[in-house]
Amino acid sequence: MFQTYSNFKSHEHNFNTFFSTSVACVVSLLIGGLLAPTNFFNSTNSWFVFLLLVVFPMIVFVAVAGEAEFRTAYYKTWQDKITGKIDQSKILKRFAKQYKIKNWRVKVDQIDADGRWNFRADTNYMHRLTEQRDLLLSEAYEEYIDLIKRQDSVIIEAKRVLSNMYVELEAAKGAKAIVKGYLDDAKSSGEKYKQRRDYDQKVVAHSLSAEAKIDAEYQLEEAEKEKKTIFDNYKNTVYQIKTIFYGRYSRYTEYAIKKINKINGLKYTIIDMPSTESWLNNENRKEIK
């Protein structure tokens, strides 16, 4: 995972863990404080309740800290909902303005509406969300480019090593063939012994060169796989970032959308925030393959 995105997720997760655990501690203390004056803890079975009050914050901590699924920080979720409630009139006016109707209460079948309603909640809050998303995407992209450049260097080096291995293999093959000729032409037993020993050495050298070439091919293949993994991870990171912020945008607009849906009996949603020009669709980025 990209460090930029990892840090972003860690912030959200750590806040939720801290907040939930803090609330659990406060609840336990309040309950304990309410029970203390009643002499409840002097009863026989009070130890169980006392133990539960102590363990409850731990259970909450383990449950929230162990969540694998990403959750937006609670305060951001609240902010989205509260601001959406405040801005719903702005969103509804934007809807009416987009379709050139008097107000948002007009039936959708009386206007030229399409699919998911081709309009956006063009408000200051939406633009702030867009800026936050684009900044995160930009930082992730910079990190991606840096990782790709490093991996390209690894691939170039792997190709250089493989090229040298081909040269060494051909040289070892040629040397073995020459010594084989000497062995075939040897007359005396002493000369045959010497040429046999030399030939065996060349056979070993040829075998080692062949193994080195195979290893170099493997290293190149792994380096290219790693580049593809970086590429796939980046695409997945971009998708997750956009999904997260679309979720926030949906929470922000949900009050206004519910009103329009209630009038029209529909379940449509408005389109996403303005899209950043994606590098995946940019024909000028020839370096990414």
Q: What is the pLDDT of residues 43-75, one digit of tens each?
A: 666 767 777 788 888 888 888 888 878 889 999
pLDDT tens for 250-272 read 999 999 988 888 877 777 778 88
Q: How far apart are CA 151 and CA 135, in angstroms?
A: 24
**pLDDT, tens digit, 9 for 90 and up, residues 222-246:** 999 999 999 999 999 999 999 999 9
Q: What is the DSSP string of 193-230?
A: HHHHHHHHHHHHHHHHHHHHHHHHHHHHHHHHHHHHHH
**Residue 278's pLDDT band (boundaries 50, 70, 90)?**
very low
What are the residue ranges of helices labelled H in the chain?
3-35, 46-65, 74-98, 124-185, 189-264
Report pTM. Answer: 0.75
Tens of pLDDT, residue by residue over 177-193, are 666 665 555 566 666 55
CB count within 10 Å of CB 106 equals 17
Q: Answer for the pair 270, 117: CB distance below 8 angstroms, yes or no.
A: yes
Say how far apart CA 255 and CA 270 lie, in whole Å. 12
Of 16-20, 78-82, 85-89, 262-266, the least confident: 262-266
**Residue 188 DSSP one-character state:** S
Q: Which of 251, 276, 275, 244 is nearest to 87 (CA)?
A: 251
Q: Is residue 27 scored above 60 in pLDDT? A: yes
Is residue 97 pLDDT above 80, yes or no?
yes
Q: Provide the phi-psi class of 272: left if phi over 0, else alpha when psi is between -120 and 50, else beta.
A: beta
Tokens for 255, please give them: 């009050």
Asked if 88 and 256 count as a contact pair (C-beta separation under 8 A), the reply is yes
What's the longest Cα–Cα distance across the chain? 113
145 touches 203 (CB < 8 A): no
Query: Based on the number of CB atoms within 10 Å of its own CB, is 99 exposed (0-12), middle (13-18) or buried (19 or more)?
Result: middle
Question: Helix, strand or coil for residue 122?
Answer: coil
Who's near 149: CB < 8 A, 6+ residues apart? none
Q: What is the mean pLDDT of residues 69-93?
A: 92
Q: What token pair was written down for 220?
A: 């190149």
